[in-house]
Amino acid sequence: MLKNYFKIALRSIWKDKFFSFLNISGLAIGIACCLLIVTYVRYELSYDKHFQGHENIYRIIIDGSFNGRDFTGAECPAPAGTTYRDQIPGVEQRLRMRSTGSWIVKYEEKVFNEERVVFSDETFFDVFKVKLIQGNPEEVLSRKNHLVLSQTLATKYFGTQDPVGKVVRLDNDSDWTVAGVYEDIPANSHFRFNMILSFITREDEYNGQEWLNQNYDTYLVLNENASVEGVQAQMNEIAIEKMGVEFKQYLDMTYDQFLQAGNSFNYFLQPLADVHLKSDGYGGFEPEADITYVYIFSAIAAFILIIACINFMNLSTARSANRAKEVGVRKVMGSLREQLIFQFISESVLITFLSGLIGLAIAIVVLPFFNDFAERQMSLSFLESLPFVVLGSLIVGFLAGIYPAFFLSAFTPVKVLKGNVSMGMKSGGLRKTLVTFQFFISILLIIGTFSILNQLNYIQNKKLGFEKDQVLLVHNTYLLGENFEPYKNRTLSNANVESVSATWYLPTYSSRSSTVFFPDAIVDQDRGQVSQNWYVEDTYAEVFGLTLKAGRFFDKDIPTDSMTMVINEKAAQVYGIDDLENAVIGDFNNDGSSLDRYKVIGIIEDFHFESLKAEIGPLIMRLGSQRGYMAMRLNSANYQQVIDDAKAAWDEMAADQPFEYSFLDDRFGNMYEAESQLGEIFSIFATLAIIIACLGLFGLAAFTAQQKTKEVGIRKVLGASLGQLIYLMSKEVSILIIISFIIASAVGWYGVDLWLQSFAYRPPISVTAFILAGVSALLVALITMSYQSIKVATGNPVKALRNE
């Protein structure tokens, strides 16, 4: 019996090759998309779960507010981790790490620039259990000026030589001994260090006792029986006790007075598995992802698979007119309804199984390109995925085929054999509902795509308060040493360079430094504010195109400018500065004993020095030369000549040091890489959703046209025009798409508004995006329908009237 069902299913598929192709290809594309998205989602959810005992590892997060300004982050004071380990019974181990930017590594005559470098406690390999290929995990980071390398870096530096014991020079000023080599950290980790330096080398920081100095990513390992809530409560009790002296010293207040003033301060523990996807605003070693996007992609995968299943149901029920007589004959010959149901479900399962195999093959072929696009290292094994594809095919085939099976098997033989069954687009309220749902999903995806692109366009064209174009950045200029000023003068002598400024601080992601300042240089708990604290040269405003609102910018030729400040409008607001005549701001001196007085000489227009997801905060600038980046404002489009000249001068003045550069506008664009990537993924899958929906619509149009052949012939004989006939064939689909658009617009408006709330600066929701989405879906659907409509409408009416 099963063999007979299989033969009939194959014959049915082969008989209607065209519609079988539509069914199989639509399902295959849908399954391939679903597999790719599920692979992506699984990869995102797998972050840090490969670390042994990850369930008991937590990162400390600080959350609070000070004088009306909220702050949150993953940095802790140096003594926190050790104190908690020693005083809280539920804490088994602690680990502190601190990243300090890029490092220049020199071994013999080879020079490298490394980005993923971190200082770490000696407990790194105890907490994260990364496998050491060479070295003792208890000793490799326990001595000063010792480091461990990833396997990739060890091979890169030393080839086949034994790395252990080799000495490398870092940043041209200190020698470090390689104490061990560890396996490369998997890509699905929230950190991927290639070099780990012993934190004990920085002895003052390692033994630091300041609790208000938050600089270190700190992790705790709890024992299995520890209560997270209980540990958090003890952490905060200890922090309050330890910080009491410093509150009195720096803010002239007790902790109780700090709270009574409306401020807050709290530590909590973040599970390691949450770091990658649930760290909005906390910061970290790698760019943060967002759990919201995982939910969105999961929904897209489900929607695309649903669209493909709807296609199958629609085409199967629409084809029923062609198979009605077959059902009638079988019933007359004694076939039971159960047998017919099983036959049609078996056909459905066979089609979904073939589609599943093809979809899996497509997904495996496309995955490398998807990896490049998503910047991930995902894998998809045919043998590992096959059982899930088979199981999924059975489930999807059964669910997608159950309605057509019951529908076809319910035909009355007498009516069927008399030809009283008609199954076109008009028949079946369920089919109309399914078509409406298909285009609801498609339009929703198009709305999402247009809205994301609209926000990205807003970001790129918004007035930022600084000029991001035509600014060239030369990196790591501290490597120039004594040749720093000659190099600066050399670049400035280039006719294509308008001005030059050296700094660590850029109006995009770069170094940041926060400090509490006090207006009028008086310690006042109610008026102190945390602000960004930047040291810049007197040419900074000119290079980056900042606009002065009042006063002046720095002048290096005025000696007293070393004790002055230039602030942004937000800082002027929070410090209550209305004019510059008597404007003074205080900052603690080096030993923290008193406030130094700085006169405010200028106010600059607010500019976006962080992502547009964050509101502009107070910013204070002080005069100083820092040699992280050398920024050049160019006055021509001859970029390559400037780059070539800058490199030539570099090779002369910083021999054997790597020359690196970037453009400010590229760094700005990188800040929104996740959103740009999301928009592109939306575009791809929205297009695929429309294609899948239109494959089904094309098949439905063919069957509808076939059912209306005689009607069209009569109407042509009676004088109907081509346009009227096309309208007749297309009006019902148009109505369904309009209904889909109305529903999708309501849902889309809510979803887009929810997504845009993650941006502090955003345009109004674009009505144009919604209109374009509806028009696009309608045009694509009408074009799809038009081929069959025109084919029938232009046919010979005599042949149409002979059609039975």
Q: What is the tens place of the pLDDT at every residue in 159-199?
A: 889 999 999 999 888 899 999 999 999 999 998 999 999 99
Q: Which residues of 28-42 are buried (b: 16+ CB within 10 A; e: fewer)?
A: bbbbbbbbbbbbbbe
| Residue 426, amino acid | K
Mean pLDDT, rounded, for 761-778: 82
Give the pLDDT of residue 589: 76
Q: How far is CA 36 from CA 33, 302, 368, 504, in A?
A: 5, 12, 11, 41
What is the largest distance, in Å, between two alpha-carbon atoms of the chain?
108
Lowest mean pLDDT, pick from 122-126, 530-534, 698-702:
698-702
**What pLDDT is stored for residue 327 in this prediction?**
65
Q: Which residues, including other chains, have CB under 8 Å from residue 94's CB and lie 6 or more apart?
A: 81, 82, 84, 85, 121, 123, 218, 219, 220, 221
pLDDT at residue 794, rounded to an integer:
64
Element (H, E) at 86: helix 80-87
Token digits for 383? 């043998």
Please report which helix (H) or strand (E) contains residue 372, including its range: helix 337-374
Q: What local confidence, expressed as pLDDT, does residue 427 receive? A: 47
For residue 261, pLDDT beyond 80: no
pTM for the predicted model, two decimal places: 0.78
Q: How high is the pLDDT of residue 3?
A: 63
User: Minimum mean pLDDT among 128-142, 148-162, 229-243, 384-398: which range?
Assistant: 384-398
Residue 616: closest CA among 750, 464, 738: 464
Angle at 72 between CA 507 and CA 587, to 5 degrees: 65
pLDDT at 586 (0 to 100): 86
Q: At what angle do helices 673-707 and 320-332 cross, to 10 degrees?
A: 60
Highest mean pLDDT (candidates 12-16, 109-113, 319-323):
109-113
Q: How confident is the model at residue 142 (pLDDT cuts 50, 70, 90)?
A: very high
* Cα 351 from chain centroid (whole Å): 36
pLDDT at residue 243 tops 70? yes
Question: Mean per-residue pLDDT for 89-95?
Answer: 93
Predicted confidence (pLDDT) at residue 209 exceeds the cutoff of 60: yes
Average pLDDT for the chain = 81
Can you tell me the mean pLDDT for 146-159? 93
Instruction: Please report the pLDDT score of residue 446 as a whole number.
Output: 82
DSSP letters spanning 452-513: HHHHHHHHHHS--SS--TTEEEEE-GGGGGGGHHHHHHHHHTSTTEEEEEEES--SSSS---
Residues 657-671 have pLDDT tens digits of: 888 888 888 887 777
CA angle 225, 227, 228 (to 5 degrees): 125
Q: What one-letter code names the amino acid at 566?
A: V
What pLDDT is stored for residue 425 in this prediction?
Answer: 42
Give CA–CA dist 363/378, Å, rounded. Answer: 12
* Rounded Cα distance, 40 and 23, in Å: 26
- Report residue 131's pLDDT band, with 50, 70 and 90 as the boundaries: very high
Phi, psi of 124 (to 5 degrees): -55, -50
pLDDT score, position 603: 93
Per the document, the length of the chain is: 804
CB 475, CB 661: distance < 8 Å: yes
Residue type at 335?
Answer: S
3-state DSSP helix/strand/coil % of the chain, to nearest 5: 50, 20, 30
